[in-house]
Structure formats: structure tokens, C-alpha cells
A and B are shown apart, each in its own frame.
Chain A
């Protein structure tokens, strides 16, 4: 299977969009394009299963490698393993759902959908890259559209938020670039697979690891560099919030794993304590900060800080199970925050407020939207049968295996955060969808077909992972195996 299709398809869709006229044409093309992405990623999944079941044990599948810029030894090298496929599937789900919830975007609709689709080019490119330069290139492709999406279609203090988000993510990229350049100048190659075969000097790793890890970490709300998250999300239009939380924050997590941890395993071991510390702070502190929020989007944004802390905690623990858990949490969080933002968007478009105190009793008039809201909430607080539970429990189980007192404390605090999560989720649900309804909301209409479809798609994803986690575990297992081999090379003094 030709992986480049994953880049070409959205690119072609985006170009066609430029020639479309009017909202109807634009959204039809976008929907067709995004559904095609979904079909393509499922084709990729089935091809992957076929390869694996026919005994192909290569680390990366469907590889292709072209020279891009010879003098600097930059190649367009792509390939996937189970982890990248999981992320690609996540992206495809969120893109379709994002297009569906933006169905009635009147303002500059062509430009809006163009940017949405263009953003997915960056995401797919990032997840399939096996060359650090290409990877960095696609990372940048995914950042720019967000600035415009928030700055133009956003709400509230959108200019400030757009600027803050863009600057912080750019700073992250700059750090990433230093890390990548450091690897390149010490080895002469950008190729991830080649780099993983090399023995990079430990002090080089130790010097450049923080750049790469913090750089990617900023994308995934690493404490204390998470402050773009609440502002960025709250000002973004619904689909952009979904993309931001569902896809962009995952670029960071994936980068921390694939670049920082995989290529610099010695440094990963050396810094694991600090990573765990920062992740634990993000988890528990993010949860408590969420408890005090009054705006639905702020609630979900802060809870994302807490939930992404689990991703970093899983990575920091450096065991096979914990990394599995981190990947599961990325996929799960991507789906459920996208769903949560979709539900918040649906509520906001009808009531024109996101303030919890002003809402109430929506279950009576908009049962579908309210049910979606409650399901998203349940997923967020880790109810079994939904995806969050599986990911969190995998991380808890793995981190408890380390008898060190600090690991134990981190685990207990992380476990405690799920109680706090229950508090803020149920407060939000209790005040928004339950309780007496105010007169001004009596005439609200329930979800339209496109909103139902978007929510249904995301819920299906959440349910599949929640009910049959062994499927996704099988998918990502060979990928984590590869990373573990790399981490296993380290001789711990």
C-alpha cells in the first residue's frame, strides 16, 4: 500500500476546495474528502493486519524512501507501525467529525474547510514520517492553520489566544528543531530507523533529549508549558478545538515517544524521574484547577491537561505496559475530548453561552445532545466500557510494578485524580444537562443529522476501545515492542 496517499488525498481535497463556490459545494467536497480519508485509513489497517498475520515481522511496514535533498541527507522516508496506524485512525475519525460539526459555517466557509483539511495533511505526514526533517516539516504544516482558525473564526479574546498558542507551539517547534539538529550533527543522518541502530553517545543524548522532549511536550500540555491549552481551546471554533485536542496534542505525545524516547533511550532513562514528576503534577494539579472552572470549554481544556499528563506518565515509566497505556490514552483522549468539544459546541450554538451557571435542564429539550455530553463525561471520568478506563488502568497497573516509593506515590496521586475528575464532570453535567430548565431554553431544538453522525462516529470509536481493548492492544503491541528493544539496550549503571 502506498502511504503517500494519506498525504495526497487531503492535499487534493484541499486544492479542489479552492475551486469550490458556496458553502454547499465546499462542505460536500470536504465531507467526501474526509470520508475518503477514513476509508483509506481503514484500508491501511486491514492491509496491516494481513501483513502481520502472514508473518511479516518488520518493524515498519509499507516503507518507501526517496531522496529529498541530497547535500543534507534529507529523505522522504515513510513507513508505519501499529502505533502510527492507531494515530492515523484517530486523525481520520476526528477529521470527519470535525467537518460534520462545522456543517453550517457561513463565514469564509471555503477558507475554513481548506484550513481544516490542510491541517490533516500535516497530521498524517507527521505520523508516517521516518525521517526527522520530514517529520519536522509536517509538524509545522499542522501548526500554522491553527493560528488562522482561531484568529479568524474564534470567539472571545481570540487574537490574544491565537497569538499565545502560535507562539508557544512555535517555541516548542524551535526546541524540537534544536533537538533534531543535535542528533543530525552528531550522526549525519535524519533517518529515524538508521538513528535507532546507532549508538549515540550518552552525553549527546542527555544534552539534546530535553530539547526534543520539552519541545514536543509543549504540544501535549507538559507542565508548566500547558497554559496555551485553556486559552487556545476556549477561543477556538468547535472543529478547531476538536482538532487541537484530538490531533495536535497527540503530535506532541507521539513525538515524545517516537523521537525523544525511541532515539535517545539512555537519556530517557536518565530523565524519567523528572518526566514522572512533571506528569504527576499535571495530572493532579490539572484536575484540581479544572474543578474551579466555570466555562465548559475551560473545564474540558484543563481536564485535557490532566488527561495528557497520563500520556506523559506512561511514557516516563518506560515499561512496555506503560507505553501501551500512553498510546491508548492518546487515542482515547483524542476521541473523547473531540466528542466533548463537539457536545459543548452543539450546546453553545443553541444557548449562546458556555457558562455552567447559566445552563440547566437541557436533557429535557435536547436529549440527544445531553446524552452525548453525559457519555463524553463518563468517558472522561474513566467509566469501564468506554476508552478512558482501559488506558488509565493500563498506566496504573504498569506504574505500580515499580516498587520505588516515588513511583508508588505518583501512581496513588494519579489514581486519586480520577476521584477529582468525577467531581468536576458530575458538577458540570449536573448543572448543564440536569436540574430545572430556564424558560429561555424551552424551545431549543435537538441535534441535526450531521451532529448526530459526528457524535455517533466518535462514540463508536470510544466504545470499541472500551469494550474490546484487546483489538487495539494487538495493533500497538509490535510498535511498543520495538521501542522496548531500544530501551532495553540501555545499561543502567
Chain B
């Protein structure tokens, strides 16, 4: 499929400086659509949440959803943006089958929020990402192409359009070019989107689920000769739908651009599609100056002019700034810098926070999410939040450990049960018979058996080498299928071999 020459990522960065740009679309969770009263909920039967306005029927008119404007302003404020005193919607004219009016009602040169920034942490280093703008627009309908091999329009037998999504409010957040990240560019891209998602969730304005398209990222990338300070021609990789994919898409595009430039070629300004399975991008439509959206102010809507008093009211509703909050919680939790970095890097910050809120000790919460559950998520190829265990369940499992009902090893089996949907942690412990045995009768028999089977080890212990007890404890644990109270076993071993 791809005939491109790819240059090794690290090698590419010896010659080129990457510039990143991220465009993130956030689908708001307002009750109704951007310009009409239809429900904006996800998953209804096709074309059941529609009206003349969102179907673009002749004569129908839009009216702005004030809740969406409120959400846009709050997002803008949280991104340290200025909020426009007066701004308009504009028509973005282009033809697309799932766009009912054949123009998208968006904002052009008068966005609701502009000139902001977000500080992004990568491996303990802070990168400031400048936000150019955040503007309001409407989503399009959704096409399903039936009968083709690829699910794309080419080769399809026919196409079905569902307009339930048409008119759902979107906020598009656009960064300025991010330069100077060097080999950390993929990580910066990922961390920015991750932090942006945390922010959106904290604001409560969207479900922000990437797998459901509530949060969609387009990754723009260009390379310029190292030290030139220039900006190269960019590619726009569309709808990269997970944090991991964002990182991979940036890496791939760096390698690809470097290959083109090394060969004396010119990077084509185009839209590219990222392929989750292979980790590569392929060319979509070419984007050039020929694409002319003929923007003009939407004459059916009046300007949006949020009063300063309202903006200040909304500012007062903002959640704590994520950076400040992180520093505060690190102190409260007693995490080292390294522990904190690992937690954030694993995408576990919010999950750990919730687990602690549910009653677990900070270190225990961290340990489960950053080690055990992160490994499971990686193996399953899913986001940590989608691993199948909730923060409340992790806290419940830890409570069982704290009570001595199970140990860490048994806890892993409880997580197996949780992922398999076998019930609550308590139910799983009961059903799987995982509770620790601390009854001296049963344990004593197993200890005697172990001593008998390992006379050499037993002799060493009798000789005062208590460190050798581990081997006997291990044998007992094996005998008891891990369900023995290890501390009591140790005591019994030492008692018998005193």
C-alpha cells in the first residue's frame, strides 16, 4: 500500500525539527443540539432525533443553544483564553453527503475564545502549548457505506445517512504550531490530548470518550531542517482515536516526512488517515488552496455577545487548574516525583484520585493502577479506563487486602474475576474460594509436610539461618494454592525448627 521510504525516527530528528499542531473536536454533552431542540444523546435509532432545522429542510432556521455557548466559554477560560465580547457564526460552504445544508455552521475569523495556553507535563518537563482558538460548530450526520470491501465510499453499493448526529454541538480547539519538542514531540502530542481530556472531564462538558468519537483529534505535522526556524509543509492526519495512536501517528509522520525530504521530494499538503492496525497513515484527499470554503457570516443568527459579568460568573465555576491540582495532590498523597510522573504517564491520575476517594491508601491505589492494571490494559490494547475495573472496585479489593482476607497475589485473581464480570470483589473471593487460610491446624499440617520434604533447608534453619525459611514458606504457599497467611506460616516454621 505504501511505497514511501521511511527514515528511522531518531535518525530523522538528527536532521529535522518537527512542528506539531493539534485540532481537537469535543462533542458537548448538552441535552439538545447546537441549533435546534432535538435531543443530543448518543445511540438512538437512525434518523429519530431530527427536525426540519437539523435536517436542513428548506425554510428551517437555526437558533443558538445557550448551554453550548456556556460550555464553550468555560472551555475557553480553562484554557486561559480571552473570551470574545462579540462574535458571529459563519457558514463554511462545502459539499458533503452527510451535511444536510451543504454548509457547516461554524465560526471563522471571530472565534468565541482565543489566545490561550496549556502547560503540558512530559517526563517532568513542562511544555507550554499555545492555544490559537476554541470555536463553536455543529457536527455532521454519519454515513455508512454498504456493500464495499473497505467500508469507504469507493466501491460501495449504496450509502446510508443517519442525521441523529447532525447538529450536535462541537467545540474545536486549535493549537498554534508546537515547536522545540524534538524527540519528545510524540509524547507532547499525547500528553496534550490526555491533559485536555482530563480538563474537559473536570469541566463536565463532554463524555470525552475517544472510542465513541466524543473527542476526536487531528494531528498536523511538518518537518523543517534542524536549526532553520522555518515551518515545513504539513500533513493533517484525521481522527486519531486513542492516546497511543496519537503518539504513533506523530512518529510515523516524522519518519515519512523525513523520507520524502531526504529523497529531495516535497511533502504534499493533504489529509491522511491513520490505520490503527498497522500504525501507518495513508493519503486521503489532497488539500490545497483550491479548497475554498467561501466563509461568510451566518445571516440567520445574531452575534453572540457574552456579557463580562456572565463570563466572570462562569470563571468562578471552573474546576481547579490541573497543574495546581496535581501539585497539591502529590503533596497530599506523599508521592515522589518519579511516582507522580509514572502515574500521569500511565494515564492513571484521575483513576488513582478516584480510587483514593473511594477509600484506598494512596500508595496502594497507585500500585494497582500503574503496575497491575496498566499491564493488563497494555496486553488487551485498551485505554486504562477501559480495562474493565473501576476505581471503586480497586478500592474494595484493597480493603480486602487491608483486612487480611486476601493478599496481593490473590487480589490479582480477584481482578481476573472482575474483568470477567463475576460480581463484586467479595462475591469473587467467596465463589473462587480465595480467602487466606490462617487456621493453625491446616497450616501446621502443611508446614510439617514441607519440613519433611526439605530436610536440608530445615537443618539450615535449625542452624540459625532464618533467611532460608523463605523456601519452606514458598513450599507451603504452593501447597495451599497461595491462600495461606504468609506471616503465620513463617511463625509456625520458626516455632517448629527453633
Decide whether A and B are members of one complex: no
Binding site for B on A (CB under 8 A): none
Binding site for A on B (CB under 8 A): none
